[in-house]
Amino acid sequence: MLWLRADEGLASAGRREAAALARRLGLADSRAADLALAVTEAAANLLRHADDGALALRIAAFGDQSAVELLALDSGPGIPDVGAVLRDGSSAAGTPGGGLGAIRRVADFFALHTLPGRGTCLYARFTAQPAGMAEPGSAAQLSGLTRPISGETQCGDTWAVREEPVAEGAAHLLVMMCDGLGHGPLAARAADEARTAFRTSRATEPAAILADIHAGLKGTRGAAVAVARVDPPARRVSLCGVGNIAAFVLGAQSRQALTSTPGIVGHNIGRPQTFSAALPPGDALVLHSDGLNSRWQPAQFPGLTGQTPAVIAAQLLWQAGTRRDDAGVVVVKAPR
Ligand SMILES: [Mn+2]
């Protein structure tokens, strides 16, 4: 993920990075122009109305499709009447949210979550083959986001996912959240090793996968790691974590924590325990590092669970982020 802080050069820097991603993805010229328009409108909106904000851009995979994802996150007044700004398909007007209707018009997928007095999260997706994006694959039900502490380009927080086929029914999802100790290149190296160990582990239970990651992190500075296994048909999640990774089952008005045990993966993991919880349809499993303040409450985020996982992850990262550490969050939504 490429993060651009809102300042005077935001629109031009955003367009430059968007153009590079569009080339990498092979977007047609007309779609690249649509993406540039979206970046321009989002940047204008941030600079005019937000107290603080950022654009984030990346290429993400959705099944066998890939898309450029654009996030615009801000601390600001929020948008008083979302319906009105989205009906207005015109370019940036004088009110918060002006120009967002234009972004919705050109994006293949668009989502917006706004908190009055606190800020707005905008998410838009641009794909090479729009027709294929209509298929709601399992990939669309999961998204993660990391942001390095300011001043660093490498991030010690990372997430990963793999599917675990089962004999009958829907595959289980295995999800990892890792916070490499400290920040900078050495934290990023621990994160890389954790991702590799997670991907190459042949274990299928969270505790056994965590043991493989522990072995893989020997010789690094270590990390906090949690591994979750989501079983969609059974509507359950089990999780094994060591160190400070927060894990919650998030409902519209509820938040149930899944605890981790103390230790440092790669050094000393003690005796990890696996905890299990119900994951009702429409609820979300949220794992995040201590770069987010874990005291956030669902009541502070009305309507968030109804959003797509990328918006849930982004809004939590922005609104609960401490800015004093690398931040990472991954969200899995249980199918309805
Ligand atoms: Mn941390």
Give me ligand 1 centre to Cα 259, in Å: 17
More confident residue, 145 or 82: 145
| CA of 18 relative to ligand 1 center, distance in Å | 29
Q: Is 92 helix (H, G, I), strand (E, B) or coil?
A: coil
From 314, 28, 10, select the one nearest 146 (Cα to Cα): 314
pLDDT attached to residue 134: 46
Of the candidates 228, 234, 232, 230, the one whose C-alpha atom is nearest the C-alpha of residue 274 is 228
pLDDT of residue 88: 63
Class of the domain covering 138-333: alpha beta
CA of 19 to the centre of ligand 1 (A): 32
Paired sense of beta strands 65-75 and 119-127, if any: antiparallel
**E strands in 25-115:** 52-62, 65-75, 109-115
> What pLDDT does 233 receive?
87
In angstroms, the Cα distances linking 140 to 45, 62, 308 are: 27, 6, 8
pLDDT beyond 70 at 137: no
Taken in order 112, 228, 194, 200, is the CA torsion positive or negative?
A: negative
Nearest Cα neighbor of 206 from 157, 281, 276, 285 is: 276
How far, in Å, is the centroid of ligand 1 from the Cα of 40? 33
Could you please report the per-residue DSSP string of 221-284? Answer: --EEEEEEEEETTTTEEEEEEESS-EEEEE-SS-EEE---BS-BBTTB--S--EEEEE--TT-E
Classify residue 120 by its DSSP letter. Answer: E
Query: Distance between CA atoms of 23 and 203, rounded to whole angstroms?
Result: 38
| Distance from the alpha carbon of residue 176 to the mean position of ligand 1, in angstroms | 15
C-alpha 185 to ligand 1 mean position (Å)? 14
Cα(164) to centroid(ligand 1), Å: 28
Looking at residue 170, what is its pLDDT? 84
Q: What's the gap in Å between 295 CA and the centre of ligand 1?
A: 15
Residue for token pair 């509507």: 235
pLDDT of residue 135: 45
Cα 148 from Cα 315, distance rounded (Å): 16
182 Cα–ligand 1 center, Å: 6
Cα 291 to averaged position of ligand 1 atoms, centre (Å): 5
CA of 336 to the centre of ligand 1 (A): 33
CA–centroid distance, 190 to ligand 1, in Å, is 12
Residue 205 has pLDDT above 60, yes or no: yes
Instruction: Report, as an integer, the average pLDDT of 50-73.
Output: 94
pLDDT in tens, 232-247: 889 999 999 999 999 9
CA of residue 290 to ligand 1 center, whole Å: 5
Structure tokens of 293? 């303040």
- Ligand 1 mean position to 179 CA, how many Å? 5
pLDDT band at 99 (very low <50, low <70, confident <90, very high): confident
Half-sphere exposure at residue 123, Cβ-oriented, CA atoms within 13 angstroms: 20
Ligand 1 center from residue 326 Cα (angstroms): 6
**CATH code for residues 2-134:** 3.30.565.10
Cα 178 to ligand 1 centre (Å): 9
Tokens describing residue 170: 């829907």
Range with the poorest average pLDDT among 74-83, 137-146, 181-190: 137-146
Neighbours of 278 (CB within 10 A): 13
Structure tokens, 186: 């050495």
- What is the pLDDT at residue 83? 86
Domains 2-134 and 138-333 equal at CATH topology level: no
CA 43–ligand 1 middle distance (angstroms):
29
Å from CA of 232 to ligand 1 middle: 29
Alpha-carbon span 174 to 199, nearest angstrom: 10
Mean pLDDT of the chain: 93
Domain locations along the chain: 2-134, 138-333
